């Protein structure tokens, strides 16, 4: 069997479709074996679609945001974070997020992202508003509960104060008071 040279059109097709189509499909479209496709990809340095897209994988974005990968998947499935699905080899799927799409989404969903955990320009291009968000979030860092505050919380709740009243008196958020009280009740 004679080796057939790759045409410019075939190379362009390969570059455009790696990650969009399964290797098996590309093989059929180009009338080449899967081995030939994989070999050409390796020689061209496009064996990994992550490096070709300029986008962030869910894993990479999760690392940059200091969150679990499942948080990113949840944002994609339930909260409208745009993504692109890519397929490598014949079965492995990856999800990629364009940094611009991420920042557009983050602007609309500021309450879901802790900007203080994102290093400056880690996700470029970083919009101007992020600096302000990053600084405001740093000021809202977690405040450890003291034993005195725990006792006061318990006494106020037992005395009939609402969670809003307790939160206001202790200079905490309602959700913080609610969660702390629930944890305290589980221990007893």
- pLDDT, one tens digit per residue, over 160-171 is 999 889 988 888
Q: Are 71 and 57 members of one domain?
A: yes
φ/ψ of 152, rounded to 5, equals -60, -40
For residue 80, the enclosing domain spans 53-139
Distance from C-alpha of 109 to C-alpha of 103, rounded to nearest angstrom: 10
Q: Are 131 and 58 members of one domain?
A: yes
Q: Are 120 and 99 members of one domain?
A: yes
Q: Would strands 56-57 and 84-88 be described as parallel, antiparallel, or unpaired?
A: unpaired
Residues 91-135 have pLDDT tens digits of 667 888 989 999 999 999 988 888 888 888 888 889 999 988 887
99: in domain:
yes
3: in domain:
no
Residues 23-41 have pLDDT tens digits of 788 889 999 988 888 888 8
Residue 138: pLDDT above 60? no
2: in domain:
no
Q: Are 82 and 158 members of one domain?
A: no
CA atoms within 13 A on the CB side of 81: 28
168: in domain:
yes
Q: Are 32 and 60 members of one domain?
A: no
Q: Are 95 and 164 members of one domain?
A: no
Radius of gyration of the CA atoms of the chain, in A: 25
Cα 52 to chain center, whole Å?
19
Distance from C-alpha of 10 to C-alpha of 150, rounded to nearest angstrom: 69
Query: Which 8-state DSSP code applies to residue 114?
Result: -
1: in domain:
no
Within the chain, what is the greatest distance between any pair of CA atoms?
A: 89
Distance from C-alpha of 18 to C-alpha of 88, rounded to nearest angstrom: 7
67: in domain:
yes
- What total number of domains does the chain contain? 3
Distance from C-alpha of 48 to C-alpha of 138, rounded to nearest angstrom: 37
Q: Are 125 and 164 members of one domain?
A: no
């Amino acid at each position: 069997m004679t080796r057939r040279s790759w045409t410019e059109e075939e190379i362009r097709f390969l570059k455009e479709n790696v990650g969009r189509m399964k290797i098996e499909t590309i093989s059929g479209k180009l009338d080449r074996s899967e081995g030939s496709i994989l070999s050409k990809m390796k020689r061209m340095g496009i064996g990994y679609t992550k490096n070709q897209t300029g986008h962030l994988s869910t894993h990479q974005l999760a690392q940059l945001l200091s969150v679990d990968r499942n948080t990113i998947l949840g944002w994609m499935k339930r909260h409208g974070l745009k993504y692109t699905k890519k397929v490598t080899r014949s079965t492995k799927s990856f999800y990629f997020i364009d940094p611009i799409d991420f920042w557009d989404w983050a602007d609309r969903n500021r309450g879901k992202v802790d900007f203080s955990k994102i290093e400056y320009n880690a996700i470029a291009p970083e919009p101007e508003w992020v600096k302000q968000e990053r600084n405001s979030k740093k000021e809202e860092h977690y405040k450890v509960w003291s034993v005195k505050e725990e006792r006061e919380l318990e006494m106020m709740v037992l005395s009939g104060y609402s969670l809003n009243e307790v939160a206001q008196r202790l200079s905490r958020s309602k959700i913080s008071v609610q969660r702390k009280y629930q944890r305290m009740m589980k221990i007893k």
